[in-house]
Amino acid sequence: MDLQQAKTLLDKINSLYKSISTDGSQIASIERDLMLSYIRQLYESFLETPGGNARSVASVSANSGNSKASQP
């Protein structure tokens, strides 16, 4: 995993969030899609970690509603 790439993505996410939150109105679909894209890229960069647990998004989502799900 490239930590510099992860930091760049986090900076982009924070900047976009700041821009969206100061506007006060509804989030435009282009802003939502851009935010989702940044989040996916960040998630995928952590999946590429050698020896990392590459669980699928579906299994993570399925367990997120279950408070007693085992933690990795």
User: Does any domain span residue 44?
Assistant: yes
Residue 14 has a pLDDT of: 98
Query: What global pTM score does this model have?
Result: 0.64
Residue 72 has a pLDDT of: 45
User: Does any domain span residue 72?
Assistant: no
Instruction: Please provide the size of the chain in residues.
Output: 72
CA distance between the termini of the chain: 19
Q: What is the pLDDT along the chain (72 residues), one digit of tens a residue?
A: 788 999 999 999 999 999 999 977 889 999 999 999 999 999 999 887 776 555 555 455 455 454 444 444
User: Does any domain span residue 8?
Assistant: yes
User: Does any domain span residue 55?
Assistant: no
User: Does any domain span residue 56?
Assistant: no
Instruction: Report which DSSP code applies to 69.
Output: P
Residue range of the domain that includes 21: 3-50
The tally of domains found in the chain comes to 1
Residue 47 has a pLDDT of: 87
User: Does any domain span residue 29?
Assistant: yes
